[in-house]
Amino acid sequence: MTDGPQTATPPPDEHARHPSSAPLAIHDMTVAYHRRPVLWDIDYDAPPGKLTAIVGPNGSGKTTLIKAAVDLVPRASGDVRFFGSAYHKVRHRVGYVPQRGSVDWDFPVNALDVVAMGLYKQIGWFRPVTRRYRDQAMHYLERVGMADYAARQISQLSGGQQQRVFLARALSQQADVYLMDEPFVGVDAATERAIVVILQELREAGKSALVVHHDLQTVPEYFDHVLLLNMRMVATGPISDVFTPENLRATYGGKLALLDQVGHRMTLNQGRS
């Protein structure tokens, strides 16, 4: 951390430290918004076949971590691998579930249309969404208990129902690792249970999930592993080892004012150069 951002591409041997079985391996990643770093030197291997919670205070870079991993936000430095390969080569194995607030719910589509979007890559360019794919999408809506709402325009759904539609869309991608951004925020109890069941089914099928999560109380109940984040990685590992009062205090207590200051300096200096 003392030596600041590193070169954009690490030498190949550096990656030997990251197992290629890891669904997500992040090597020395730093991410900056407007030249101001918001994530510092993240070096992380996600455990395969586990449910991992990404936990940290507001502004700690949880969403940024996920977005930078799937190339939605540029990385200032560092490198990300999914199953040992660059993201653009294994897109089909990675399912991304954005925050519910990220889309316009007044858009003229129904629940089934949204779920079918997860199949667009599979359908391919130029081809229409045929009956076969609509049936597939319907199957995933059934899995999240939303089959009765297939023809509803999406703004006519409750927050929990909207989240389940997003989840069904992610399932339809049939990915091996899922990155979910706050799926539990603003949902009803029934949806929360439905999401937990789906997550467990994914784990049983040998898939992995990294879930940005806010409710500390339910972390040990829902997840196997945890990644504690506050602009840098505070701790990572199985819940029983890592989810301790000391680590949580290190994550939440004090917003690491020093890092913030250094970031600010860097913004100023680079702005001048």
Partner 1 sequence: MLAATDIFTASFTWLIDDWGKLDTWIVITGALAAMACAIPGSFLVLRRQSMMGDALTHTVLPGIVAAFLLSHYLKTTGWISTDPADPHKAFDATSYTFMFGGALLTGVLTAILTEWVSRRGGVENSAALGVVYTSMFAVGLLTIRLAADSVHIDPDCVLYGNLESVWGGSDQVPRAAWVSGGCLVFNIAMAGCFFKELRISTFDPALATTLGINATLIDYALMGVTAATAVAAFESVGNILVIAMLIVPAATAHLLTDRLWVMLLLAAIIAASTAAIGHVMALSLPPVLMAPFAEQPLLSGVPIDSLDASTSGMMAAAAGGLFVAALFLAPRHGVLVRIGHRFRLSIRISAEDLLGTLYRQDETSRDIPLQTGRRTFAQRYATWRLRRQRLILHSSGQLELTAAGRHAARKLIRAHRLWESYMARHFDVPADHLHETAHKVEHYLDPELRDQLAHELDTPDTDPHGREIPDD
- Cβ of residue 135: shortest distance to partner 1, in angstroms? 17
d(CA 142, CA 121): 21
Whichever of 163 and 230 has its CB closer to partner 1, that residue is 163
Whichever of 29 and 69 has its CB closer to partner 1, that residue is 69
- Cβ of residue 153: shortest distance to partner 1, in angstroms? 4
- Cβ of residue 50: shortest distance to partner 1, in angstroms? 22
Q: What residues contact 132, with CB distance under 8 A and at least 6 apart? A: none
> Can you say how many angstroms the Cα of residue 207 is from the centroid of all Cα atoms in its chain?
14
Whichever of 56 and 118 has its CB closer to partner 1, that residue is 118
Whichever of 87 and 252 has its CB closer to partner 1, that residue is 87
Nearest-10 Cα torsion for 123, 156, 202, 31: 80
- Cβ of residue 258: shortest distance to partner 1, in angstroms? 26
Whichever of 172 and 230 has its CB closer to partner 1, that residue is 172
Whichever of 175 and 235 has its CB closer to partner 1, that residue is 175
Query: CB-based burial of residue 214 (10 Å sphere; 0-12 exposed, 13-18 middle, 19+ buried)?
Result: middle
- Cβ of residue 60: shortest distance to partner 1, in angstroms? 20
- Cβ of residue 240: shortest distance to partner 1, in angstroms? 33
Sign of CA dihedral 251, 54, 37, 8: positive
Longest dimension (CA), the chain: 59
Q: Which residues of this protein are in contact with partner 1, per CB under 8 A?
A: 34, 67, 70-72, 88, 91, 94, 96, 98, 102-104, 107-110, 113-114, 117, 120-121, 123, 125-129, 153, 169, 173
